[in-house]
Amino acid sequence: MSHTESETPDAAEVASHGRPVIRLRPKSKPQAIRHGFPWVFADEAVLDRRTKALPPGGMAVLEDPERQALGLVTVNPASKIIARVMDSDPQAVIDGAWLRARLTRAQDLRARIYDTPFYRLVHAEADGLPGLVIDRFGDAAVIQPNAAWADGMAEEIADALIAVTGVTTVVVNGQGRSRGLEGLTERLEVIRGTAPTAPVPVAMNGATYLADLLGGQKTGLFFDQRPNHAFAQRLVDGGSVLDVFSHVGGFGLAGLAAGASQALCVDGSAPALELARGGAEAMGATDRLEVMQSDAFDALETLAGQGRTFDLVVCDPPAFAPSKPALEKGLRAYERVAKMAAPLVAPGGYLVLCSCSHAADLTAFRNASARGIGRGGRRGVLIHTGQAGPDHPTLPQLAETGYLKALFFRLD
């Protein structure tokens, strides 16, 4: 028996109401949980053999070192985040009724904001459903169960989702880095309704995007950039647009919808660019869209060698700094993007630089971007700082929920 086990033999005992207990270590900070922080890291909890034996995704009562209940948590001993707060009531029952209540609250918020059934319906901890992401595409929804409890309750989540929203198709897209950190295997399946036979057309900001719910990245479309697309449209004024890391045409198609004379979308994925072409066709803008399948850095170098410039240049890369250990390398990559993109902006034009890395905070990203612009031989002013739309609410206590940053520069 380890020293920890001998000191705290009852750390995972069964509470009086029949639930296991997980207890914070004496030197932990239970006030953070009381003030709304939703996670308990493994080094903050007493880890005896019974705690480690709790099933991933199971429920337990979280107690402070003085054995005062802090709430109900879902536990995953295989994760660095050993517990996630589900409910402040330690006696809450996580069942269909509980799920429907949480989903109704999330749905009510989106219904107030949007007059379209295309949005992020659940943004994980910020909507009180830790580790769960749900994007809605009209009559279909894609769920990403990135925590063990959500993966185990996918069927119940689907039923609650149908009851609350009336969707008829539910896709589980269990892929990505987050699931690996939780010890979960990948899965991709339609668990309610029938598989979509074609990409789903999504209208946003006057543009039409095609979302591949089964073969696309993440859930098939990134709703988070919607307000930044709209701001970028105000800068187009009939000019040309370069959209690097474009995915299915995010900023490029938005620019065409706002009257851009030409848009060049650059991405490494041929299927994504084909969807961009389909979106342009649906908008009647095929003749104004150019695509380039290429590594983004290679494309920036090629375009510079050709002497091309654009009135609006947008770079929206994947997360270069997905975690703190990757921060320094990621910031160098963001700086490099800015350095290579800045010379492609026409005099008096605009450069938009985006980051979806939660490990890189706004100040660090802004500084890296400014350094890159300077190294690219340009000077400019920051005219706007954007973030994700209100369907991606931010939990103030959890920086990870406010991951997206978009910097809009006007260059001399």
Q: Mind telling me the catalytic residues?
A: 356
Residue 317: left if φ>0, alpha if ψ -120 to 50, beta else—which one? beta
CA-wise closest residue to 369 among 315, 318, 323:
315
Q: Which two tokens stand for residue 203?
A: 């209208």
Distance in angstroms (rounded) separating the CA atoms of residues 211 and 80 = 33
Q: How many CA atoms lie within 13 A of 324 on its CB side?
A: 2
Whole-number Å distance between alpha carbons of 144 and 197: 20
Which letter, b or e, does each residue of 263-297 get, where b requires 16 or more Cβ atoms within 10 Å of its Cβ? bbbbbeeeebbbbbbbbbebbebeebbebbebebe
Closest residue by Cα to residue 217 from 242, 244, 249: 249
Can you tell me the distance from the alpha carbon of 34 to that of 333, in angstroms, rounded to the nearest whole number?
Answer: 38
Q: How far is CA 281 from CA 24, 81, 116, 216, 256, in A?
A: 57, 45, 22, 19, 11
**Which residues are within 8 A (CB) of 382 and not within 5 positions of it... i.e. 6 or more apart?**
366, 370, 407, 408, 409
- Ordered DSSP codes for 82-98: EEEEEESSTT---SHHH
Q: Report yes or no: 118 and 134 within 8 Å, Cβ to Cβ.
A: no
CA triple 120-126-131, angle to 5 deg: 80
